[in-house]
């Protein structure tokens, strides 16, 4: 085979290759389709690296400032920035497809809308992620807005950005948003009739936050409902962790309508005891017990003193089996373990004082009194067997 024949065959092969390369598939030549695909692959391959490079430059700029908000915002934008190389590669891929397409209407209209939609998604994704660091600017208003209210506001802003972003995407595609909102309104009326409890709990949650009844981390008790530590206050329910570590999801209406005791906001812990001594205790002994117990409480450094709190140790009543003292005092600590220790020490001290006074604690008892001089009834003796046989 001579050189001219080889060159002729190569030219013929190249012609076949170019014929296939320029063959239209779905209105686009194969060559332009492959080129567009390569551009997209390049965008996906380099998206992480390019995003990291942009974030690194932004962080270097943010570190020059004194506040930490811009650093947090830059970190929040790391995810949306990964879409930038994809959007750029998609734009150029569509331009390549448009150049090789027989009908360019799709790429001028719908193709451009795809790119616009991706840009809208990237923007609102960035706004959604930037909500949390930006909300730190409102921490200075913690006296007016509790941490839970700030958390609710953060969630609400995120939901708003999602809804507005979805509406913006629909607007890009010339889909009217008004009829959709009106349809949701009618649907909302139908749902609202069957979701009254949901809205009631939502309003109750708002009232709980407005009244600042409790915040996460506080120990609360609702009689007949729950007692434990608040972990989360959500839109519909509140998560309360019982002391056995069991989670209880309580509807907010239960916590809004019922009386809530917030033990975490106590300033003192109360000790209220009824102490009964025997009825044969003399007045002098009662006075000694009263004075020594009261002196112990008033001089103890871990008990609160009047007039800050009320403190009493008095003979209160005559019960069925005892003469009762009422002890009413408060400890300075609100810690449960420390309070139990102080109660134990107080119990030991009261027992010592009662024993030193020469009396003792009373317990339920009954006394039977027999009157002397009364005629005693003696039942007759039963007849013996021998007497019975003789009688027969």
Residue 197 near residue 191, CB atoms below 8 Å: no
Going 202 to 208 to 211 to 212, the CA torsion angle's sign is: negative
Which pTM does this prediction carry?
Answer: 0.49
Residues 6+ away with beta carbon under 8 Å from 269: 330, 331, 333, 334, 339
Residue 296, C-beta contacts closer than 8 angstroms, at least 6 positions apart: 346, 349, 353
Which CATH number does 269-356 carry? Answer: 3.30.70.100
Q: Where are the domains of the chain?
A: 20-191, 214-264, 269-356
For 228, left (φ over 0), alpha (ψ -120 to 50), or beta? left
pLDDT of residue 101: 61
CA distances from 150 to 125, 155, 213 (A): 20, 9, 16
Instruction: Report the distance separating Cα 347 and Cα 327, nearest Å.
Output: 11
Residue 277: its pLDDT value, please? 95
User: 203-249: per-residue pLDDT in tens?
Assistant: 888 888 877 888 888 999 998 889 999 998 888 899 999 989 999 99
pLDDT for 231 equals 92
- Give the pairing of strands 219-222 and 226-233: antiparallel
pLDDT of residue 339: 93
CATH among 2.30.30.240, 2.30.30.60, 2.60.40.1180, 2.60.40.650 for 214-264: 2.30.30.60
Tokens of 209: 């936050």
Residue 286: both structure tokens together: 């009662």
Q: What is the DSSP letter of 380?
A: P
Taking CA atoms, 314 is separated from 306, 323, 324, 391, in Å, by: 16, 11, 9, 73
Please, are residues 94 and 37 in contact by the beta-carbon 8 Å criterion? no
pLDDT at 288: 96
The predicted structure's pLDDT at residue 200:
81
Q: What's the half-sphere exposure (Cβ side, CA atoms, 13 Å) at 195? A: 11
Whole-number average pLDDT of the chain: 79
**Cβ–Cβ < 8 Å for 250, 238:** yes
Backbone angles phi, psi at 258, to 5 degrees: -95, 160
**Residue 348: what pLDDT?**
96
Q: How far apart are the first and last CA of the chain?
A: 159
Q: Which residues in the chain land under pLDDT 70?
A: 1-33, 66-72, 100-110, 136-148, 178, 180-195, 365-367, 369-392
């Amino acid at each position: 085979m001579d050189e001219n024949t080889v060159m002729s065959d190569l030219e013929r092969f190249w012609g076949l290759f170019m014929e296939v390369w320029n063959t239209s598939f779905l209105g686009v030549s194969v060559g332009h389709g492959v080129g567009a695909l390569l551009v997209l692959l390049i965008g996906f391959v380099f998206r992480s690296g390019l995003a990291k490079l942009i974030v690194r430059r932004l962080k270097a700029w943010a570190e020059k400032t004194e506040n930490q908000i811009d650093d947090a915002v830059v970190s929040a934008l790391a995810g949306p920035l990964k879409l930038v190389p994809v959007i750029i590669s998609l734009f150029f891929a569509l331009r390549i497809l448009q150049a090789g397409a027989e009908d360019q209407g799709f790429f001028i209209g719908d193709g451009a809308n795809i790119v616009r939609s991706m840009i809208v998604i990237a923007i609102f994704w960035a706004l959604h992620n930037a909500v949390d660091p930006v909300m730190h600017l409102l921490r200075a208003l913690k006296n007016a807005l509790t941490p839970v209210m700030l958390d609710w506001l953060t969630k609400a802003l995120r939901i708003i950005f999602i809804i507005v972003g979805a509406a913006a995407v629909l607007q890009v595609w010339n889909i009217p948003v008004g009829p959709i909102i009106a349809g949701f309104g009618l649907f909302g009326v139908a749902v609202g009739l069957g979701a009254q409890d949901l809205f009631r709990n939502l309003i109750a949650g708002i009232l709980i936050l407005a009244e600042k009844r409790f915040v996460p981390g506080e120990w609360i008790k609702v009689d007949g409902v729950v007692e434990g530590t608040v972990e989360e206050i959500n839109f519909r329910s509140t998560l309360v962790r019982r002391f056995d570590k069991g989670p209880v999801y309580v509807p907010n209406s239960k916590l809004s309508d019922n009386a809530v005791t917030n033990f975490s906001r106590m300033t003192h812990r109360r000790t209220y005891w009824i102490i009964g001594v025997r009825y044969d205790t003399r007045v002098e002994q009662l006075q000694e017990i009263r004075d020594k117990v009261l002196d112990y409480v008033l001089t103890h450094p871990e008990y609160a003193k009047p007039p800050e709190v009320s403190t009493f140790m008095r003979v209160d009543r005559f019960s069925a089996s005892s003469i009762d003292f009422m002890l009413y005092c408060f400890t300075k600590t609100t810690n449960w373990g420390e309070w139990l220790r102080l109660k134990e020490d107080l119990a030991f001290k009261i027992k010592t004082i009662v024993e030193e006074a020469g009396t003792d604690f009373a317990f339920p008892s009954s006394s039977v009194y027999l009157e002397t001089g009364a005629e005693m009834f003696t039942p007759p003796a039963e007849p013996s067997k021998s007497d019975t046989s003789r009688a027969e």
